[in-house]
Every structure is written in C-alpha cells, then in structure tokens.
Structure 1
Amino acid sequence: MDGTEIAWDDESKFDDARTHAIKVWTAGTLTKVTIRADGASTYADLAWRDVNSSSGQWRDVYGRWSGQHGTDHLPMNRAYLDDGKRRGTDEHRRRVAAHELGHALGFCHKSYDEGRSPLWPDYGQIAEQKLNGPTAKDAKAYHVLWG
C-alpha cells in the first residue's frame, strides 16, 4: 500500500469477486483508502491471483492474503471456488474476496459478535451469517485505523 492507496493487478478468473470486494470496502463512509487498478506507469501493491490446490497449506483454504515486500499476493483457490466445487458460487467467492481484501487493508481476524464480521477466522461462520461485506463494527475499526 502506498499511503492510502492500493493499486492492484489481476490474473484471477474471479473478477466479479474482486469487483465486489473493492465495492464493499470503499462504500459509504469507507473512503479513506483508494483501491484502483494499476496502470502502465504504476507499481501494483496487490496482485490478485489463482491457485488450484486442496492439499498441504491449501487444505480447506479458500483464499489467502500474503503481505510481501513490494507486491502483496491475494490468491483465490479454484479447488474450492470454481463452479461446481464446494464453495463454487458467486456468493461464496465474493465473501472470500471481501475477507482477504480486509486483510490487505490491515485488519486481522475478528472475533467480536460471535462471527458477525467478514473477518471472522472461520469461514463457516461468515457463510452462516451471510456476511458479504463489512459490518458497522468493521466500519468503526476501519475509521480507527484509517481516520
């Protein structure tokens, strides 16, 4: 992240999920951080990618934000998110993308309100609560962090 801007590039098939995540984390009063596509003369802060694995570190992992020196990585796992897979719907892909983008914005897993946050560590809770974006408490945390 450069100041209050995240420039991203994309080599993921889940464009709808990325678009949704950016929309919910920049809606309403969540305007302190600009999230935009990188250009030919800019450096990407965040790279949306795909991975396709259900073993090892990817067992039961739908997406993962990984902070790096330079460009952070945000892979979405096709092994679970592709059409016909366990979480292979737009709704689930959007939730996973919103969760991971929350990490890119600086938020850790949240345990307040018994799973009523898209940043709850257990995806089952996120899905059960049908959380597709930040809650009022997440917005409050956003403003504490970003102003």
Structure 2
Amino acid sequence: MRGISIRAAVTGQAPQIISILEQCGLDASALNLFATTFHIAVTESLIVGCAGVERHGDTAIIGPVAVLADYRDRGIASSLVQAALMRARAGGCRQAVMLAMRFATYFSRHGFTLMPRRALPAEVQASQAYQWQANPSDVCMKYDLISG
C-alpha cells in the first residue's frame, strides 16, 4: 500500500465516493450519505477506494467497500475494512454486519461469519440499507467487535 493513506472522508468528497462506487459497478442511488460515514484510500490527491459504516444502535453495517480497478490487489480494501471496523468499535458498536452476500468469501477472510438475517436487530432491519436489498438472502455476515 505504498503511497496510499486511509482516512475519514469529509462531506465535500461525496461526489468522488459516488463516482468510485459507480465505477466499481455498485449502485450508489440508494446510498444514505447522511447516515453513512466513509473511510477513503487516497494517493496524492486522488481517492481510489472507500468503505462505509452505517450505525444502527450497537450494530454497524459495513459497506459499500470499493477500490478502483487499477489499485486492486494492493491490500487497500483490507485496510479500508479494518478502518471501518475500528470506527465501529470506537463508536461503541458490539457487532458489525455485511448484508451483501455476493462478497461473502472476501469478508469471511476478515473474520465475518454467517448469521440468519432474521436475527439482526430491529434497528438494522428498519434501515434503508436492509430494505434496499433487492434479493436478500436468508443469511448475512457478522463480525463480533467485542472479541474480534
């Protein structure tokens, strides 16, 4: 990750974050930018990746996570996920969840495990991120921030 820094995004960077998500094939139209806090990966003045954290009670929804194609396979996404988990833990969350199961293999490498969606807290089930899932699986992934 030489020459790349991870830091918290600021409000004025929302258009760049949306652009990265779209370039990575992720739909940013349903993203709640007011509820999601982002970490970004920056090289010089270019944002090359992002990871969101959306807090609901003592649970944090992690995602979306995206890195521009030219910057993949450098550990950037892993650093962004770790920064998102640290933010959630520092904010008092007890667990983090990932709702998009198409990234299950990736997140399992970071210690996330399967859990039934019906076991998610009511605050998460009421969230825009949860409601937006077009074809939700019966499962999602969780990470224990207390012991993890």
More strand by share: 2
TM-score by length of 2: 0.25
